[in-house]
Copies of this chain bind each other. A is one copy, B any other.
Amino acid sequence: MSDLTTQVRAFAEERDWQQFHTPKNLAMALAGEVGELLAELQWLTPEQAAAVMEDPEAAARVRAEIGDVMIYLTRLADVLGIDLVEAALTKLDEVAVRYPVHQSKGSAAKR
């Protein structure tokens, strides 16, 4: 993971792209890539979407879009000085308190 952060940073610095990589721009790019990921799944039935990785061409497209999303998320976190995995683990702890197992079992109700 820290290796990915370093490589994405080097990729940007070699191309002098730090000037474009502001938090707002990167957040927009992240949303743009998530949009492309949604586009891969939007017209599939739930059953087709569940089996999307069995079709090699669709799987390659989905994997590429997931990769793009991860690249921009990694870069945004790096620019903001946030450790991505730590932020997720901390948030997971908070969500665990908000959604106790016995009260949340099988329910998607928001709290």
**A-to-B contact residues, CB < 8 Å:** 1, 3-4, 7-8, 11, 14-17, 19-20, 22-25, 27-39, 41-46, 49-50, 52-53, 62-64, 66-71, 73-74, 76-77, 80-82, 84-85, 87-92, 94-96, 99, 101, 104-106, 108
Contacts and interface: CB of A to CB of B under 8 A. Distances in A.
Given A85-B1, A88-B74, A104-B15, A42 B29 contact: yes
A99 B20 CA distance: 15
Nearest to A71: B88
A49 to B, nearest CB: 4
Nearest to A80: B53
Copies held by the complex? 4
